[in-house]
Structure 1
Amino acid sequence: MTYGGSNQPRPSRNERREAAREKARVLREEQKKRERRNKILIQGGIIVAVVAIAALVGTLIFQSVKPAGPGPQNMASDGILLTAGDGGGIVAVETPALAAGEAPTPTVPDDSGEVANIVVYVDYLCPFCGQFEATNSESMRTMVESGAATLEVHPIAILTNKSAGTQYSLRAANAAACVAESSPDSFFDYNAILFENQPEEGSTGLTDDELKSLAEEVGVSNQSTIEKCIDDVQFKAWVQDSTNRALTEPIPNTNPELPSVTGTPTVLVNGQQYGGSLDDPQEFQAFVLQATSQSFNDSESTPTPTPTPTPAQ
Protein backbone atom coordinates (compact mmCIF):
# COMPACT_ATOMS: atom_id res chain seq x y z
CA MET A 1 0.00 0.00 0.00
CA THR A 2 1.28 3.37 -0.83
CA TYR A 3 0.44 6.77 0.76
CA GLY A 4 0.02 9.97 -1.24
CA GLY A 5 1.68 13.22 -0.11
CA SER A 6 2.47 16.74 -1.20
CA ASN A 7 4.88 17.19 -3.95
CA GLN A 8 5.94 20.58 -2.45
CA PRO A 9 9.42 20.55 -0.94
CA ARG A 10 9.64 20.98 2.81
CA PRO A 11 10.36 24.65 3.77
CA SER A 12 13.90 25.31 4.75
CA ARG A 13 14.85 26.63 8.16
CA ASN A 14 15.32 30.15 6.80
CA GLU A 15 11.96 30.08 5.09
CA ARG A 16 10.29 28.94 8.27
CA ARG A 17 12.05 31.74 10.17
CA GLU A 18 10.92 34.34 7.65
CA ALA A 19 7.36 33.03 7.75
CA ALA A 20 7.36 33.28 11.56
CA ARG A 21 8.75 36.80 11.39
CA GLU A 22 6.06 37.80 8.91
CA LYS A 23 3.35 36.31 11.07
CA ALA A 24 4.73 38.13 14.11
CA ARG A 25 4.83 41.36 12.11
CA VAL A 26 1.20 40.95 11.10
CA LEU A 27 0.23 40.22 14.71
CA ARG A 28 2.13 43.32 15.87
CA GLU A 29 0.35 45.48 13.32
CA GLU A 30 -3.02 44.13 14.38
CA GLN A 31 -2.16 44.73 18.06
CA LYS A 32 -1.12 48.31 17.28
CA LYS A 33 -4.40 48.88 15.45
CA ARG A 34 -6.35 47.53 18.41
CA GLU A 35 -4.36 49.71 20.81
CA ARG A 36 -4.97 52.82 18.67
CA ARG A 37 -8.69 52.00 18.47
CA ASN A 38 -8.94 51.42 22.23
CA LYS A 39 -7.00 54.60 22.90
CA ILE A 40 -9.42 56.58 20.75
CA LEU A 41 -12.39 54.99 22.49
CA ILE A 42 -10.92 55.64 25.93
CA GLN A 43 -10.07 59.23 25.07
CA GLY A 44 -13.54 59.74 23.69
CA GLY A 45 -15.06 58.28 26.83
CA ILE A 46 -12.90 60.51 28.99
CA ILE A 47 -13.91 63.54 26.97
CA VAL A 48 -17.59 62.65 27.29
CA ALA A 49 -17.17 62.11 31.03
CA VAL A 50 -15.29 65.40 31.43
CA VAL A 51 -17.97 67.24 29.46
CA ALA A 52 -20.69 65.65 31.60
CA ILE A 53 -18.86 66.53 34.83
CA ALA A 54 -18.22 70.06 33.60
CA ALA A 55 -21.90 70.44 32.75
CA LEU A 56 -22.89 69.20 36.22
CA VAL A 57 -20.40 71.48 37.95
CA GLY A 58 -21.55 74.38 35.79
CA THR A 59 -25.15 73.72 36.73
CA LEU A 60 -24.30 73.59 40.43
CA ILE A 61 -22.27 76.79 40.20
CA PHE A 62 -25.05 78.52 38.29
CA GLN A 63 -27.58 77.44 40.89
CA SER A 64 -25.37 78.67 43.71
CA VAL A 65 -24.59 82.05 42.16
CA LYS A 66 -27.77 82.70 40.21
CA PRO A 67 -29.09 86.19 40.85
CA ALA A 68 -31.31 86.45 43.90
CA GLY A 69 -34.92 87.11 43.12
CA PRO A 70 -37.10 89.79 44.71
CA GLY A 71 -38.25 89.50 48.30
CA PRO A 72 -41.83 88.77 49.26
CA GLN A 73 -44.58 91.28 48.69
CA ASN A 74 -46.02 92.95 51.79
CA MET A 75 -42.66 92.81 53.63
CA ALA A 76 -40.93 95.94 52.35
CA SER A 77 -39.73 96.71 55.89
CA ASP A 78 -38.34 93.15 56.22
CA GLY A 79 -41.48 92.51 58.29
CA ILE A 80 -45.22 92.32 57.66
CA LEU A 81 -47.45 94.97 59.28
CA LEU A 82 -50.79 93.71 60.58
CA THR A 83 -53.70 95.98 61.50
CA ALA A 84 -57.43 95.82 62.21
CA GLY A 85 -59.55 95.17 59.14
CA ASP A 86 -62.48 97.44 58.29
CA GLY A 87 -64.77 94.44 58.40
CA GLY A 88 -63.12 92.93 61.45
CA GLY A 89 -60.28 90.53 61.84
CA ILE A 90 -56.63 91.20 61.05
CA VAL A 91 -55.34 92.32 57.67
CA ALA A 92 -51.90 93.02 56.29
CA VAL A 93 -50.71 96.36 54.94
CA GLU A 94 -49.80 95.70 51.31
CA THR A 95 -46.37 96.78 50.11
CA PRO A 96 -44.37 96.03 46.95
CA ALA A 97 -41.62 93.44 46.93
CA LEU A 98 -38.04 94.49 47.55
CA ALA A 99 -35.81 94.07 44.53
CA ALA A 100 -32.71 91.94 45.06
CA GLY A 101 -30.18 94.03 46.98
CA GLU A 102 -32.67 96.81 47.69
CA ALA A 103 -32.66 98.35 51.17
CA PRO A 104 -35.87 97.86 53.17
CA THR A 105 -38.25 100.72 53.81
CA PRO A 106 -38.92 101.12 57.55
CA THR A 107 -42.56 101.30 58.58
CA VAL A 108 -43.79 104.75 59.57
CA PRO A 109 -45.23 104.20 63.07
CA ASP A 110 -48.46 105.69 64.34
CA ASP A 111 -47.22 108.53 66.56
CA SER A 112 -50.62 109.68 67.80
CA GLY A 113 -49.96 108.10 71.17
CA GLU A 114 -53.23 106.21 70.90
CA VAL A 115 -51.96 103.04 69.22
CA ALA A 116 -49.35 100.56 70.41
CA ASN A 117 -46.88 99.76 67.63
CA ILE A 118 -45.71 96.25 68.53
CA VAL A 119 -42.73 94.90 66.59
CA VAL A 120 -41.33 91.39 67.09
CA TYR A 121 -38.27 89.68 65.62
CA VAL A 122 -38.73 85.92 65.86
CA ASP A 123 -37.01 82.70 64.88
CA TYR A 124 -39.45 79.82 64.47
CA LEU A 125 -37.04 77.39 66.17
CA CYS A 126 -36.29 79.69 69.12
CA PRO A 127 -37.85 78.22 72.30
CA PHE A 128 -38.02 81.65 73.96
CA CYS A 129 -39.98 82.96 70.98
CA GLY A 130 -42.34 80.04 71.37
CA GLN A 131 -42.74 80.87 75.06
CA PHE A 132 -43.49 84.53 74.34
CA GLU A 133 -45.98 83.64 71.61
CA ALA A 134 -47.77 81.05 73.75
CA THR A 135 -48.14 83.64 76.48
CA ASN A 136 -49.10 86.69 74.44
CA SER A 137 -50.41 85.65 71.03
CA GLU A 138 -54.10 85.83 71.90
CA SER A 139 -53.80 89.15 73.77
CA MET A 140 -51.94 90.63 70.78
CA ARG A 141 -54.69 89.31 68.51
CA THR A 142 -57.28 91.10 70.64
CA MET A 143 -55.30 94.34 70.68
CA VAL A 144 -54.81 94.33 66.90
CA GLU A 145 -58.41 93.36 66.08
CA SER A 146 -59.70 96.13 68.33
CA GLY A 147 -57.46 98.74 66.71
CA ALA A 148 -55.54 99.35 69.94
CA ALA A 149 -52.32 98.06 68.40
CA THR A 150 -50.53 97.20 65.19
CA LEU A 151 -48.22 94.20 64.99
CA GLU A 152 -45.18 93.96 62.75
CA VAL A 153 -43.57 90.51 62.53
CA HIS A 154 -40.01 90.02 61.29
CA PRO A 155 -39.20 86.34 60.71
CA ILE A 156 -35.43 85.79 60.86
CA ALA A 157 -33.28 82.66 60.83
CA ILE A 158 -30.49 82.78 63.38
CA LEU A 159 -30.81 79.09 64.33
CA THR A 160 -30.50 77.68 60.81
CA ASN A 161 -27.68 75.36 61.89
CA LYS A 162 -29.54 74.06 64.95
CA SER A 163 -31.87 71.58 63.24
CA ALA A 164 -29.75 68.53 62.41
CA GLY A 165 -28.89 69.79 58.94
CA THR A 166 -32.43 70.51 57.70
CA GLN A 167 -32.13 74.32 58.01
CA TYR A 168 -35.54 74.48 59.66
CA SER A 169 -35.26 78.12 60.77
CA LEU A 170 -34.58 79.22 57.22
CA ARG A 171 -37.29 76.99 55.73
CA ALA A 172 -39.89 78.13 58.26
CA ALA A 173 -39.05 81.81 57.73
CA ASN A 174 -39.29 81.21 53.98
CA ALA A 175 -42.70 79.55 54.44
CA ALA A 176 -43.89 82.56 56.45
CA ALA A 177 -42.68 84.83 53.63
CA CYS A 178 -44.56 82.68 51.11
CA VAL A 179 -47.77 83.23 53.10
CA ALA A 180 -47.02 86.95 53.42
CA GLU A 181 -46.76 87.21 49.64
CA SER A 182 -49.68 85.07 48.52
CA SER A 183 -52.12 85.13 51.45
CA PRO A 184 -51.05 88.07 53.65
CA ASP A 185 -54.28 88.29 55.65
CA SER A 186 -53.59 84.72 56.83
CA PHE A 187 -50.19 85.63 58.21
CA PHE A 188 -51.20 86.12 61.86
CA ASP A 189 -52.80 82.67 61.98
CA TYR A 190 -49.90 81.01 60.16
CA ASN A 191 -47.37 82.65 62.47
CA ALA A 192 -49.38 81.43 65.46
CA ILE A 193 -49.73 77.85 64.21
CA LEU A 194 -46.00 77.60 63.47
CA PHE A 195 -45.34 78.31 67.14
CA GLU A 196 -48.13 76.02 68.28
CA ASN A 197 -46.33 73.23 66.39
CA GLN A 198 -42.82 74.39 67.18
CA PRO A 199 -40.20 71.60 67.10
CA GLU A 200 -37.44 71.36 69.66
CA GLU A 201 -34.14 73.07 68.99
CA GLY A 202 -31.67 70.47 67.72
CA SER A 203 -34.37 68.33 66.12
CA THR A 204 -34.89 68.03 62.38
CA GLY A 205 -37.89 70.37 62.61
CA LEU A 206 -41.03 70.17 60.54
CA THR A 207 -40.83 68.86 56.99
CA ASP A 208 -41.82 70.98 54.00
CA ASP A 209 -44.96 68.87 53.68
CA GLU A 210 -45.85 69.70 57.29
CA LEU A 211 -45.25 73.40 56.66
CA LYS A 212 -47.59 73.18 53.67
CA SER A 213 -50.17 71.27 55.70
CA LEU A 214 -50.20 73.97 58.39
CA ALA A 215 -50.78 76.61 55.71
CA GLU A 216 -53.75 74.63 54.47
CA GLU A 217 -55.01 74.22 58.05
CA VAL A 218 -55.27 77.98 58.59
CA GLY A 219 -57.11 78.37 55.29
CA VAL A 220 -54.61 80.31 53.19
CA SER A 221 -55.62 81.39 49.72
CA ASN A 222 -53.43 80.36 46.77
CA GLN A 223 -52.46 77.09 48.44
CA SER A 224 -50.77 75.67 45.35
CA THR A 225 -48.68 78.82 44.89
CA ILE A 226 -47.60 78.73 48.52
CA GLU A 227 -46.71 75.03 48.27
CA LYS A 228 -44.46 75.66 45.26
CA CYS A 229 -42.88 78.61 47.07
CA ILE A 230 -42.11 76.36 50.04
CA ASP A 231 -40.75 73.56 47.84
CA ASP A 232 -38.51 75.98 45.92
CA VAL A 233 -37.41 77.86 49.07
CA GLN A 234 -38.24 80.86 46.90
CA PHE A 235 -37.26 83.50 49.44
CA LYS A 236 -34.10 81.84 50.77
CA ALA A 237 -31.86 84.73 49.71
CA TRP A 238 -34.25 87.28 51.20
CA VAL A 239 -34.39 85.41 54.52
CA GLN A 240 -30.59 85.34 54.66
CA ASP A 241 -30.30 89.03 53.76
CA SER A 242 -33.01 90.20 56.17
CA THR A 243 -31.47 88.12 58.96
CA ASN A 244 -28.07 89.65 58.28
CA ARG A 245 -29.58 93.14 58.30
CA ALA A 246 -31.30 92.48 61.62
CA LEU A 247 -28.05 91.26 63.18
CA THR A 248 -25.78 94.01 61.84
CA GLU A 249 -27.83 97.17 61.30
CA PRO A 250 -29.68 99.59 63.62
CA ILE A 251 -33.30 98.72 64.30
CA PRO A 252 -35.59 101.45 62.92
CA ASN A 253 -37.90 103.50 65.14
CA THR A 254 -36.23 102.51 68.41
CA ASN A 255 -35.67 104.84 71.37
CA PRO A 256 -32.92 104.65 72.44
CA GLU A 257 -31.66 103.31 69.14
CA LEU A 258 -30.88 99.60 69.12
CA PRO A 259 -27.71 98.94 67.10
CA SER A 260 -28.97 95.48 66.09
CA VAL A 261 -30.93 92.44 67.14
CA THR A 262 -28.84 90.41 69.59
CA GLY A 263 -31.30 87.59 70.21
CA THR A 264 -34.85 86.43 69.76
CA PRO A 265 -37.48 87.30 70.58
CA THR A 266 -36.72 91.00 70.29
CA VAL A 267 -39.95 92.77 71.20
CA LEU A 268 -40.54 96.50 70.82
CA VAL A 269 -43.53 98.64 71.74
CA ASN A 270 -43.54 102.19 70.38
CA GLY A 271 -39.78 101.99 69.99
CA GLN A 272 -39.07 100.72 73.52
CA GLN A 273 -37.62 97.26 74.02
CA TYR A 274 -39.49 94.84 76.25
CA GLY A 275 -37.22 93.06 78.69
CA GLY A 276 -39.76 91.52 81.03
CA SER A 277 -41.12 88.05 81.64
CA LEU A 278 -41.85 85.78 78.70
CA ASP A 279 -44.52 83.79 80.53
CA ASP A 280 -46.47 86.50 82.34
CA PRO A 281 -49.15 88.02 80.08
CA GLN A 282 -50.01 90.74 82.59
CA GLU A 283 -46.44 92.02 82.60
CA PHE A 284 -46.35 92.39 78.84
CA GLN A 285 -49.80 94.04 78.75
CA ALA A 286 -48.68 96.49 81.43
CA PHE A 287 -45.61 97.31 79.36
CA VAL A 288 -47.79 97.96 76.30
CA LEU A 289 -49.98 100.34 78.30
CA GLN A 290 -46.98 102.12 79.76
CA ALA A 291 -45.25 102.55 76.39
CA THR A 292 -48.48 103.77 74.79
CA SER A 293 -49.17 106.21 77.62
CA GLN A 294 -45.66 107.58 77.37
CA SER A 295 -46.11 108.08 73.64
CA PHE A 296 -49.42 109.80 74.28
CA ASN A 297 -47.86 112.12 76.87
CA ASP A 298 -44.98 112.89 74.52
CA SER A 299 -47.41 113.78 71.75
CA GLU A 300 -49.44 115.97 74.13
CA SER A 301 -46.35 117.81 75.35
CA THR A 302 -45.15 118.64 71.86
CA PRO A 303 -45.62 122.40 71.51
CA THR A 304 -48.00 123.53 68.80
CA PRO A 305 -46.24 125.80 66.32
CA THR A 306 -47.38 129.44 66.49
CA PRO A 307 -49.00 130.47 63.20
CA THR A 308 -47.03 133.01 61.23
CA PRO A 309 -49.12 136.10 60.42
CA THR A 310 -49.87 136.52 56.80
CA PRO A 311 -48.22 139.72 55.55
CA ALA A 312 -50.63 142.50 54.68
CA GLN A 313 -51.11 143.07 51.01
Structure 2
Amino acid sequence: MSNPTSKHTPRPVSSKTTYALAGVAVVVVAAIVAALYLWNRGDGGGVRNDGYGPVHDPAVTVALDSDGAIVLGKSNVAKTIDLYEDPLCPACGQLEKIYGQEIAQQVDLGKIEVRYRLVNFLDPKSKSKDYSTRAVAANECVAQSGNGPVYSKFHQLLFTTEQPSEGGADHDNKSLADIAKQAGAGDDVAKCITSGDRADTARGHAEAALKTLDTKLDNRAATPAVFIDDKKIDVNKKNWVLDAAK
Protein backbone atom coordinates (compact mmCIF):
# COMPACT_ATOMS: atom_id res chain seq x y z
CA MET A 1 0.00 0.00 0.00
CA SER A 2 1.12 3.48 -0.64
CA ASN A 3 0.40 4.61 2.90
CA PRO A 4 3.80 4.58 4.66
CA THR A 5 2.19 3.72 8.00
CA SER A 6 0.76 0.48 6.70
CA LYS A 7 2.04 -2.66 5.03
CA HIS A 8 0.61 -5.03 2.48
CA THR A 9 1.29 -8.70 3.11
CA PRO A 10 -0.27 -10.89 0.42
CA ARG A 11 -1.42 -14.41 1.10
CA PRO A 12 -4.04 -16.66 -0.52
CA VAL A 13 -7.56 -15.84 0.66
CA SER A 14 -10.28 -16.87 -1.79
CA SER A 15 -7.99 -15.82 -4.67
CA LYS A 16 -7.63 -12.30 -3.29
CA THR A 17 -5.47 -10.75 -0.57
CA THR A 18 -5.37 -9.92 3.09
CA TYR A 19 -4.62 -6.33 3.97
CA ALA A 20 -2.68 -5.82 7.19
CA LEU A 21 -3.28 -2.27 8.37
CA ALA A 22 -0.61 -1.62 11.00
CA GLY A 23 -2.00 1.77 12.07
CA VAL A 24 -5.37 0.30 13.06
CA ALA A 25 -4.24 -3.17 14.14
CA VAL A 26 -6.93 -4.71 11.97
CA VAL A 27 -6.89 -7.33 9.25
CA VAL A 28 -9.42 -6.62 6.52
CA VAL A 29 -10.14 -9.31 4.01
CA ALA A 30 -10.86 -7.89 0.57
CA ALA A 31 -11.85 -11.26 -0.81
CA ILE A 32 -14.56 -12.55 -3.05
CA VAL A 33 -16.56 -14.57 -0.57
CA ALA A 34 -17.99 -17.99 -1.25
CA ALA A 35 -21.03 -16.25 -2.69
CA LEU A 36 -18.89 -15.83 -5.79
CA TYR A 37 -18.81 -19.61 -5.95
CA LEU A 38 -22.61 -19.57 -6.09
CA TRP A 39 -22.37 -16.90 -8.79
CA ASN A 40 -20.10 -18.99 -11.02
CA ARG A 41 -21.19 -22.58 -10.51
CA GLY A 42 -24.20 -22.38 -12.84
CA ASP A 43 -26.74 -24.42 -10.82
CA GLY A 44 -29.23 -21.68 -10.04
CA GLY A 45 -27.07 -20.15 -7.34
CA GLY A 46 -26.46 -16.88 -9.18
CA VAL A 47 -28.26 -13.55 -8.87
CA ARG A 48 -31.13 -13.76 -6.43
CA ASN A 49 -34.47 -12.30 -7.53
CA ASP A 50 -32.91 -11.08 -10.77
CA GLY A 51 -34.97 -8.38 -12.47
CA TYR A 52 -36.50 -6.91 -9.31
CA GLY A 53 -34.12 -3.97 -9.16
CA PRO A 54 -33.73 -1.56 -6.23
CA VAL A 55 -36.43 -0.64 -3.71
CA HIS A 56 -39.70 0.40 -5.43
CA ASP A 57 -42.14 1.34 -2.67
CA PRO A 58 -42.30 5.12 -2.00
CA ALA A 59 -43.26 4.27 1.59
CA VAL A 60 -39.67 3.14 2.16
CA THR A 61 -37.62 5.92 3.72
CA VAL A 62 -33.94 6.42 4.39
CA ALA A 63 -32.36 8.29 7.28
CA LEU A 64 -28.86 9.13 8.43
CA ASP A 65 -28.36 8.24 12.09
CA SER A 66 -26.13 10.32 14.33
CA ASP A 67 -23.52 7.51 14.30
CA GLY A 68 -23.40 7.55 10.49
CA ALA A 69 -25.52 4.44 9.88
CA ILE A 70 -27.78 4.80 6.84
CA VAL A 71 -31.13 3.22 7.69
CA LEU A 72 -33.32 2.03 4.81
CA GLY A 73 -36.78 0.61 5.47
CA LYS A 74 -40.36 1.12 6.57
CA SER A 75 -41.53 2.03 10.04
CA ASN A 76 -42.06 -0.60 12.74
CA VAL A 77 -40.02 -3.33 11.04
CA ALA A 78 -39.15 -6.24 13.32
CA LYS A 79 -35.85 -7.32 11.73
CA THR A 80 -32.82 -5.07 11.23
CA ILE A 81 -29.75 -6.08 9.22
CA ASP A 82 -26.46 -4.30 9.88
CA LEU A 83 -24.38 -4.41 6.71
CA TYR A 84 -20.73 -3.28 6.79
CA GLU A 85 -19.09 -2.54 3.45
CA ASP A 86 -16.44 -0.41 1.75
CA PRO A 87 -17.46 1.29 -1.54
CA LEU A 88 -14.30 -0.03 -3.23
CA CYS A 89 -14.48 -3.57 -1.81
CA PRO A 90 -14.95 -6.08 -4.67
CA ALA A 91 -16.57 -8.65 -2.38
CA CYS A 92 -19.10 -6.02 -1.30
CA GLY A 93 -19.86 -5.44 -4.97
CA GLN A 94 -20.45 -9.15 -5.45
CA LEU A 95 -22.75 -9.24 -2.43
CA GLU A 96 -24.80 -6.42 -3.93
CA LYS A 97 -24.89 -8.08 -7.37
CA ILE A 98 -26.03 -11.41 -5.98
CA TYR A 99 -28.31 -10.42 -3.09
CA GLY A 100 -29.09 -6.72 -3.51
CA GLN A 101 -32.36 -7.23 -5.39
CA GLU A 102 -33.58 -9.83 -2.92
CA ILE A 103 -32.77 -7.45 -0.06
CA ALA A 104 -34.66 -4.67 -1.86
CA GLN A 105 -37.81 -6.79 -2.20
CA GLN A 106 -37.78 -7.74 1.48
CA VAL A 107 -37.38 -4.07 2.38
CA ASP A 108 -40.34 -3.22 0.12
CA LEU A 109 -42.39 -5.93 1.82
CA GLY A 110 -41.60 -4.46 5.23
CA LYS A 111 -39.87 -7.64 6.35
CA ILE A 112 -36.48 -6.08 7.09
CA GLU A 113 -34.72 -2.75 7.35
CA VAL A 114 -31.06 -2.34 6.50
CA ARG A 115 -28.51 -0.29 8.42
CA TYR A 116 -25.68 0.36 5.98
CA ARG A 117 -22.47 0.97 7.93
CA LEU A 118 -19.91 2.17 5.42
CA VAL A 119 -16.18 2.01 6.07
CA ASN A 120 -13.18 3.46 4.21
CA PHE A 121 -10.20 1.16 4.77
CA LEU A 122 -9.60 0.90 1.01
CA ASP A 123 -8.89 4.61 0.50
CA PRO A 124 -5.18 3.84 -0.12
CA LYS A 125 -6.12 1.33 -2.85
CA SER A 126 -7.98 3.96 -4.88
CA LYS A 127 -6.23 6.11 -7.46
CA SER A 128 -7.41 9.30 -5.75
CA LYS A 129 -6.38 7.89 -2.32
CA ASP A 130 -9.69 9.03 -0.82
CA TYR A 131 -12.38 7.44 -2.99
CA SER A 132 -14.00 5.34 -0.26
CA THR A 133 -14.32 8.34 2.05
CA ARG A 134 -15.82 10.52 -0.70
CA ALA A 135 -18.21 7.73 -1.68
CA VAL A 136 -19.32 7.39 1.96
CA ALA A 137 -19.93 11.16 1.99
CA ALA A 138 -21.98 10.86 -1.21
CA ASN A 139 -24.08 8.09 0.35
CA GLU A 140 -24.75 10.36 3.33
CA CYS A 141 -25.78 13.22 1.05
CA VAL A 142 -28.28 10.99 -0.76
CA ALA A 143 -29.55 9.50 2.51
CA GLN A 144 -30.28 12.96 3.93
CA SER A 145 -32.97 13.42 1.27
CA GLY A 146 -35.12 10.78 2.99
CA ASN A 147 -36.12 9.14 -0.31
CA GLY A 148 -35.72 5.38 0.12
CA PRO A 149 -36.05 4.28 -3.53
CA VAL A 150 -33.57 6.94 -4.68
CA TYR A 151 -31.03 5.91 -2.08
CA SER A 152 -31.52 2.23 -2.89
CA LYS A 153 -30.87 2.85 -6.59
CA PHE A 154 -27.81 5.01 -5.84
CA HIS A 155 -26.37 2.34 -3.55
CA GLN A 156 -27.05 -0.34 -6.14
CA LEU A 157 -25.31 1.62 -8.90
CA LEU A 158 -22.33 2.50 -6.72
CA PHE A 159 -21.69 -1.14 -5.79
CA THR A 160 -22.41 -2.74 -9.17
CA THR A 161 -22.07 -1.12 -12.60
CA GLU A 162 -20.40 2.03 -11.24
CA GLN A 163 -18.00 0.42 -8.76
CA PRO A 164 -14.35 1.27 -9.57
CA SER A 165 -11.62 -1.34 -9.48
CA GLU A 166 -8.92 -1.27 -6.82
CA GLY A 167 -6.00 0.77 -8.13
CA GLY A 168 -7.92 1.89 -11.21
CA ALA A 169 -9.59 5.18 -12.04
CA ASP A 170 -12.30 6.17 -9.57
CA HIS A 171 -15.09 8.76 -9.49
CA ASP A 172 -14.49 12.40 -8.67
CA ASN A 173 -17.21 14.24 -6.76
CA LYS A 174 -18.90 15.49 -9.93
CA SER A 175 -19.13 11.93 -11.23
CA LEU A 176 -20.58 10.76 -7.90
CA ALA A 177 -23.14 13.58 -8.12
CA ASP A 178 -24.05 12.50 -11.66
CA ILE A 179 -24.64 8.95 -10.43
CA ALA A 180 -26.88 10.32 -7.68
CA LYS A 181 -28.89 12.29 -10.24
CA GLN A 182 -29.12 9.15 -12.39
CA ALA A 183 -30.70 7.49 -9.34
CA GLY A 184 -33.25 10.32 -9.11
CA ALA A 185 -31.62 12.66 -6.59
CA GLY A 186 -32.21 16.39 -6.83
CA ASP A 187 -29.88 19.33 -7.34
CA ASP A 188 -29.51 19.89 -3.59
CA VAL A 189 -28.11 16.37 -3.19
CA ALA A 190 -25.77 16.88 -6.14
CA LYS A 191 -24.51 20.13 -4.59
CA CYS A 192 -23.91 18.36 -1.28
CA ILE A 193 -21.74 15.80 -3.08
CA THR A 194 -19.79 18.15 -5.35
CA SER A 195 -19.01 20.55 -2.50
CA GLY A 196 -17.28 17.82 -0.49
CA ASP A 197 -18.69 19.40 2.68
CA ARG A 198 -19.49 16.03 4.25
CA ALA A 199 -16.05 14.51 3.71
CA ASP A 200 -14.71 15.07 7.23
CA THR A 201 -17.94 13.93 8.87
CA ALA A 202 -18.12 10.87 6.63
CA ARG A 203 -14.50 9.99 7.41
CA GLY A 204 -15.26 10.09 11.12
CA HIS A 205 -18.34 7.90 10.68
CA ALA A 206 -16.43 5.42 8.51
CA GLU A 207 -13.51 5.11 10.92
CA ALA A 208 -15.89 4.65 13.86
CA ALA A 209 -17.78 1.93 11.96
CA LEU A 210 -14.51 0.13 11.20
CA LYS A 211 -13.53 0.18 14.88
CA THR A 212 -16.93 -1.23 15.82
CA LEU A 213 -16.61 -3.95 13.20
CA ASP A 214 -13.12 -4.75 14.42
CA THR A 215 -14.49 -5.23 17.93
CA LYS A 216 -17.33 -7.42 16.71
CA LEU A 217 -14.92 -9.67 14.80
CA ASP A 218 -12.21 -10.01 17.45
CA ASN A 219 -9.77 -7.60 15.81
CA ARG A 220 -10.17 -9.17 12.37
CA ALA A 221 -12.55 -6.79 10.64
CA ALA A 222 -13.68 -7.98 7.21
CA THR A 223 -16.10 -6.70 4.62
CA PRO A 224 -18.76 -7.43 3.66
CA ALA A 225 -20.11 -8.38 7.08
CA VAL A 226 -23.77 -8.80 7.99
CA PHE A 227 -25.18 -8.90 11.53
CA ILE A 228 -28.64 -9.39 13.02
CA ASP A 229 -28.90 -8.59 16.72
CA ASP A 230 -25.08 -8.55 16.89
CA LYS A 231 -24.95 -12.10 15.51
CA LYS A 232 -22.84 -12.48 12.36
CA ILE A 233 -24.75 -13.97 9.44
CA ASP A 234 -23.15 -16.47 7.06
CA VAL A 235 -23.71 -14.85 3.66
CA ASN A 236 -22.36 -17.97 1.96
CA LYS A 237 -25.75 -19.60 2.65
CA LYS A 238 -27.83 -18.67 -0.37
CA ASN A 239 -31.10 -18.26 1.59
CA TRP A 240 -29.69 -15.94 4.24
CA VAL A 241 -31.81 -12.96 3.15
CA LEU A 242 -35.06 -14.93 3.23
CA ASP A 243 -34.08 -16.52 6.53
CA ALA A 244 -33.46 -13.04 7.96
CA ALA A 245 -36.88 -11.89 6.81
CA LYS A 246 -38.80 -14.68 8.59
RMSD of aligned C-alpha atoms?
Answer: 2.6
Tell me: CA distance 1:272–1:209, structure 2 relative to 1, closer, same or farther (3 Å): same
User: Are the equivalent residues in 2 in contact too, given 1:83–1:144 (CA < 8 A)?
Assistant: yes
User: Are the equivalent residues in 2 in contact too, given 1:126–1:264 (CA < 8 A)?
Assistant: yes
- Say which structure is richer in helix: 1
- For residue 249 of structure 1, give the secondary structure of its aligned residue in structure 2: helix
C-alpha distance in structure 1 between counterparts of 2:83 and 2:220, whole Å: 10
- Say which structure is richer in strand: 2
Shift of 1:290: 4.7
Shift of 1:232: 2.2
Q: Is residue 198 from structure 1 mapped to residue 163 from structure 2 by the alignment?
A: yes
Instruction: Pick 1 or 2: higher relative contact order, CA cutoff 8 A, min separation 6.
Output: 2
Q: Is residue 76 from structure 1 mapped to residue 40 from structure 2 by the alignment?
A: no
Equivalent residue in structure 2 for 1:266, among 216, 225, 239 = 225
User: Are the equivalent residues in 2 in contact too, given 1:119–1:268 (CA < 8 A)?
Assistant: yes
Tell me: CA distance 1:140–1:288, structure 2 relative to 1, closer, same or farther (3 Å): closer
The 5-angstrom pairing of residues 124-135 of structure 1 reads 124-135=87-98
Tell me: CA distance 1:219–1:148, structure 2 relative to 1, closer, same or farther (3 Å): same
Q: Which residue of 2 aligns with 1:14?
A: none
Q: Is residue 229 from structure 1 mapped to residue 188 from structure 2 by the alignment?
A: no
- For residue 244 of structure 1, give the secondary structure of its aligned residue in structure 2: helix
- For residue 142 of structure 2, give the secondary structure of its aligned residue in structure 1: helix
User: Identity over the aligned pairs, expressed in percent?
Assistant: 26
User: Are the equivalent residues in 1 in contact too, given 2:117–2:206 (CA < 8 A)?
Assistant: no
After TM superposition, where is structure 1 displaced by more than 6 Å over at least 4 residues in a row?
none
TM-score when scaled to structure 2?
0.65
The 5-angstrom pairing of residues 177-256 of structure 1 reads 177-185=140-148, 186-196=150-160, 197-220=162-185, 223-249=186-212
Shift of 1:237: 1.6
User: Are the equivalent residues in 2 in contact too, given 1:247–1:261 (CA < 8 A)?
Assistant: no
C-alpha distance in structure 1 between counterparts of 2:219 and 2:198, whole Å: 22
Q: Partner letter of residue 208 of structure 1?
A: N
Higher alpha-carbon Rg: 1
Shift of 1:183: 4.5
C-alpha distance in structure 1 between counterparts of 2:241 and 2:231, whole Å: 10
Q: Which residue of 1 aligns with 2:239?
A: 286
The 5-angstrom pairing of residues 1-313 of structure 1 reads 74-84=64-74, 115-185=78-148, 186-196=150-160, 197-220=162-185, 223-249=186-212, 258=217, 262-277=221-236, 284=237, 286-290=239-243
User: Are the equivalent residues in 2 in contact too, given 1:117–1:149 (CA < 8 A)?
Assistant: yes
TM-score when scaled to structure 1?
0.52
Runs of at least 5 residues in structure 2 that lack an aligned partner in the other structure: 1-62
C-alpha distance in structure 2 between counterparts of 1:75 and 1:237, whole Å: 16
- For residue 82 of structure 1, give the secondary structure of its aligned residue in structure 2: strand
Runs of at least 5 residues in structure 1 that lack an aligned partner in the other structure: 1-72, 86-113, 278-283, 294-313
Aligned residues: 181
User: Are the equivalent residues in 2 in contact too, given 1:80–1:152 (CA < 8 A)?
Assistant: yes
Tell me: CA distance 1:290–1:231, structure 2 relative to 1, closer, same or farther (3 Å): closer
For residues 9-65 of structure 1, the C-alpha deviation after alignment (integer angstroms, 9 at most, x for no partner) is xxxxxxxxxxxxxxxxxxxxxxxxxxxxxxxxxxxxxxxxxxxxxxxxxxxxxxxxx
Tell me: CA distance 1:188–1:251, structure 2 relative to 1, closer, same or farther (3 Å): farther
C-alpha distance in structure 2 between counterparts of 1:125 and 1:240, whole Å: 15
For residues 79-137 of structure 1, the C-alpha deviation after alignment (integer angstroms, 9 at most, x for no partner) is 1211137xxxxxxxxxxxxxxxxxxxxxxxxxxxx843211111111000000000000
C-alpha distance in structure 1 between counterparts of 2:155 and 2:183, whole Å: 10
Q: Partner letter of residue 81 of structure 1?
A: V
Shift of 1:224: 2.3
User: Are the equivalent residues in 1 in contact too, given 2:81–2:226 (CA < 8 A)?
Assistant: yes
